[in-house]
Structure 1
Amino acid sequence: MVARAARATDLTDLDGAVSNCFACPRLVDWREEVARVRRAAFRDQEYWGRPVPGFGPPDARIGILGLAPAAHGGNRTGRIFTGDRSGDVLFAALHRAGLANQPTSVAADDGLALRHTRIFAAVRCAPPDNKPTPTERDTCAPWLHREVTLIRPMLRVVVALGAFAWAAWWPTLQQVYGVRPPSPRPAFGHGAHWSGTAVPQVLGCYHVSQQNTFTGRLTPAMLDDVFVRARELAGLD
């Protein structure tokens, strides 16, 4: 898998390779079981049931790094954050920020297009209880590293959704840019900001999970502030 990731010549090649990964037995079993059993509301739909590639243009200036696909969201639709309530919140915010052409995303063929932005996850398969293990994160890391390498020429800022994504970024900094991660590592927090030399700046944002959005820990205004800042750091304003 490491060698296959390194061989990917462009994002189309990488996305196809990601979709055919079977490196983590626990995740393979779970994603396929979910796709076979299905949720009652989606019983008539055919689930993707495979690793979910990134989404967005190759010249993106903003990267959005998430945790992993949702079992009945990306694992069902085949597109990250598509078809679940977390995605509803995220894409609505991207639309308000001028980074998406529409505020909703329900299926991979619904016409959604991102502007200046690419979304990808630290782990590409839906994990049980939304909790991938450190070993699964590290096994999946070559896909993330290659994706960032391919969009590196234009990438200016990465928005890390949650502490898991924040932690996954620092090895990427080492592998892709050859820059030793800061020590001690910057603490994650909503609105946290880190900048280095000749590398993308990093913004922390609470994850758009229902646990955060339903309780008011993450509000639309808070999310808007992050993407306004991301646009500024990316040189889009």
Structure 2
Amino acid sequence: MQPQPSAIMAQTQAFDIDCTACPRLASFLRETRALYPAYYARPVPAFGPLDARLLVVGLAPGKHGANATGRPFTGDYAGILLYQTLFDTGFSNQARADRPDDGLELYDCRVTNAVRCLPPANKPSASEVNNCSRFLGYDLAATPSGGIVLALGRIAHEAVVRCEGYRLRDYPFAHGARHRLSRRRTLLDSYHCSRYNTQTRRLTAAMFYDVLCDARALLSAAKA
């Protein structure tokens, strides 16, 4: 199915560290900075080369992870499985992500979030996801033809689908599912690598590894 015209994709923006478009999130960040003066506590930029063929899209910065360190999935529980698996599948130079100066490099991979600011209770509103879409749209537009977008969780999946101008009903979320996007790119779905999902074994390390292997295989086939 051809995508519908998307106002979001036409109004993309690289990043704005001073963004206050969402009053609730801006207020929560101010409160967080007051409680944790050493934390980054600002909108978190994407990490990795802009022209990477694999774009990993999470939900939002974790309070004591990316919100503290200023780098996606760095210093929190969800990042343990993500960066270990990226290393295991050849997308990074090391398996750990503890702090921004730890020497981590991503290979042909970029990591971002659907929402760039820490949301209360880790639950952004629909309007907050929509407000942040211009930043996600920028990263999506930069993902090359034949590339892969890996959505971690339903909210990230739906944010990508909306940014691309497709209808959600035509792109149902399911772990391990593949969806064709514009410019020969593929959207892959995975359950989010959160503490809750891994501890309840809704998502296992083997399941997540299989999804990243699928991404690697698709990229290899596209390059051949």
Picking from 138, 158, 161, the partner of 1:170 is 161
Picking from 97, 105, 109, the partner of 1:105 is 97
User: Pairwise mapping of residues 27-38 of structure 1 onto structure 2 (< 5 A)?
Assistant: 27-38=25-36
User: Pairwise mapping of residues 1-237 of structure 1 onto structure 2 (< 5 A)?
Assistant: 6=11, 14=14, 17-38=15-36, 46-149=38-141, 151-153=142-144, 156-174=147-165, 181-182=166-167, 184-196=169-181, 198-235=183-220
Question: In 2, Cα distance between the equivalents of 1:116 and 1:154?
Answer: 13
C-alpha RMSD of matched pairs (Å): 2.2
What is the TM-score with the length of structure 1 in the denominator?
A: 0.84
Question: In 1, Cα distance between the equivalents of 2:182 and 2:136?
Answer: 21
**Could you list the runs of 5+ residues in structure 1 that have no partner in the other structure?**
9-13, 39-44, 175-180
Task: Report if aligned partners of 1:35, 1:75 keep a CA contact under 8 Å in 2.
Answer: no
Classify the secondary structure of the residue corresponding to 2:183: coil
1:173-199 Cα offsets, whole Å, 9 max, x none, are 12xxxxxx1563322111011124524
Task: Report if aligned partners of 1:59, 1:154 keep a CA contact under 8 Å in 2.
Answer: no
**Could you list the runs of 5+ residues in structure 2 that have no partner in the other structure?**
1-6
Query: What is the Cα deviation at residue 31 of structure 1?
Result: 2.0
Query: What is the Cα deviation at residue 52 of structure 1?
Result: 0.2
Q: Return the letter of the residue paired with 1:63.
A: L
Question: In 2, Cα distance between the equivalents of 1:118 and 1:134?
Answer: 24
Q: Return the letter of the residue paired with 2:98.
A: V
The answer to which structure, 1 or 2, has the higher relative contact order (CA under 8 A, 6+ apart) is 2
Classify the secondary structure of the residue corresponding to 2:169: coil
* Percent identity of paired positions between Structure 1 and Structure 2: 40
Query: What is the Cα deviation at residue 139 of structure 1?
Result: 0.9
Q: Return the letter of the residue paired with 2:163.
A: T
Question: Do the aligned partners of residues 138 and 167 (structure 1) sit closer, same or farther apart at CA in structure 2, a change above 3 Å counting?
Answer: same
Q: Which moved more, 1:60-69 or 1:197-206?
A: 197-206
Question: Do the aligned partners of residues 33 and 196 (structure 1) sit closer, same or farther apart at CA in structure 2, a change above 3 Å counting?
Answer: closer
Question: In 2, Cα distance between the equivalents of 1:106 and 1:18?
Answer: 24
1:102-126 Cα offsets, whole Å, 9 max, x none, are 1111111111011111011111001
